[in-house]
Amino acid sequence: MKMLHRSFTLLCALCSPLALAVGQGQISVSIAHFGDVTVHSLTAPEDSSMVSSHVVESDQGLVLIDGQFLRPYAKQFRDYVDGLDKPMVEVLLSHHHPDHWMGLEYFPDVKVAAQQTVIDNHKRMAPVYLKQKPQEYGAEMVIDYAIEIGRALANEETIAGLRYEFTLLKGGEAPAQTLIALPDLGVMFVQDMVSSEAHAFFGARDLATWRTHLTELEAKKGDQVLFTGHGLPVQLRANAILDQIAYLETAERLREQHQHADYKTLKAAMIAAHPELKANPLADIASKFYIEKVAPMLREQRAAD
């Protein structure tokens, strides 16, 4: 792989304070240059779990990786992309969780692509999210219809003149999640496999498989620049994957300890264990999902065994 000049710029380093009403913050922007290719990363404030969306800019146009969640930040994302004044080629969706696709209502003119397993999960779960999320955030904050994923991605494709590799990981933060790589640039979008200085969705069923994927990713990453799906900085620190593994180990221990408690107890324990992390709303979502959905299911499985 040829050596490319890399440089990074953070245009807005501070997420909006939690004292603001939901949806009234300002999205943060960071820019990374890889030769003639620029990666723009936009991260929502904490009230939207610091979701990060990315734009890969080449001379042939713009490729978007994941959308935003809440409508105000989705609109800011659209306004930013419009300001780049280049054709939008496609949106690549990494996984089916709603915080990465609901805001794509602001991109009705751009086709969406994902790996087939991600498409299947989206079709299965979108009706659940469309019922659930307006109750949690308010109908004015989220989309009321499922975005359409127009085509299935192959394992390797050339899009807007750049070679992409797509690797499907089963189990972990989501039942299926795609690693999106630009191998000729030494860039990989790991999205929600790793959170950067922010809480992760530790309510997921299979933390052991998630840790295994991360161990393999750590061994293979080399000098690749990794971009995340939640938190700042979006370019991951050298020890970010190892920190995520340690975080999941803490989550497993606290989940076992508090499996019969209410979700607020688990949330408080995780926040106390990692006071350095942001995006507490994501800790709230993860704790509630684990206590109400995952823990009872795991107890039933153990009883059956």
| The pLDDT of residue 14 | 38
Write down the residue that tokens 């245009």 correspond to.
11
**Cα separation, 104 vs 83, whole angstroms:** 17
Query: C-alpha distances in angstroms, 293 versus 2, 26, 59, 299?
Result: 48, 33, 46, 11
Provide the CATH number for the domain formed by 7-304 in this structure.
Answer: 3.60.15.10
Find out whether 232 and 50 touch, Cβ atoms under 8 Å: yes
Most confidently modeled of 132-146, 163-177, 233-247?
Answer: 163-177
**Cα separation, 270 vs 290, whole angstroms:** 13
Write down the residue that tokens 């630009």 correspond to.
182
Residue spans per domain, the chain: 7-304
**Cα separation, 177 vs 259, whole angstroms:** 26
Q: Phi first, then psi: what are they for 86, rounded to 5°? A: -135, 155
**Cα separation, 36 vs 253, whole angstroms:** 46
Q: Which two tokens stand for residue 16?
A: 């909006």
CA atoms within 13 A on the CB side of 132: 11
Q: How confident is the model at residue 235 (pLDDT cuts 50, 70, 90)?
A: confident
Looking only at Cα atoms, what is the longest distance across the chain? 58
Instruction: Assess whether pLDDT exceeds 60 at residue 7.
Output: no
The mean pLDDT of the chain is 92
Query: What's the mean pLDDT in 29-42?
Result: 96
Q: What is the pLDDT of residues 172-213, one digit of tens each?
A: 999 999 999 999 999 999 999 999 999 999 999 999 999 999
Sign of the alpha-carbon torsion through 120, 97, 226, 52: positive
Q: What is the pLDDT of residues 259-292, one digit of tens each?
A: 999 999 999 999 999 999 999 999 999 999 999 9
| The pLDDT of residue 243 | 96
Query: What's the mean pLDDT in 106-110?
Result: 97
What angle do the packed helices 263-273 and 240-257 form, to 10 degrees?
Answer: 140
Q: What is the pLDDT of residues 211-231, one digit of tens each?
A: 999 999 999 999 999 999 999
Find out whether 178 and 167 touch, Cβ atoms under 8 Å: yes
Write down the residue that tokens 């309510």 correspond to.
203
Instruction: Assess whether pLDDT exceeds 50 at residue 13.
Output: no
- DSSP character at residue 16: P
Q: How confident is the model at residue 148 (pLDDT cuts 50, 70, 90)?
A: very high
| The pLDDT of residue 304 | 84
- Does the reported pTM lie above 0.85? yes
- DSSP character at residue 290: I
| The pLDDT of residue 11 | 62
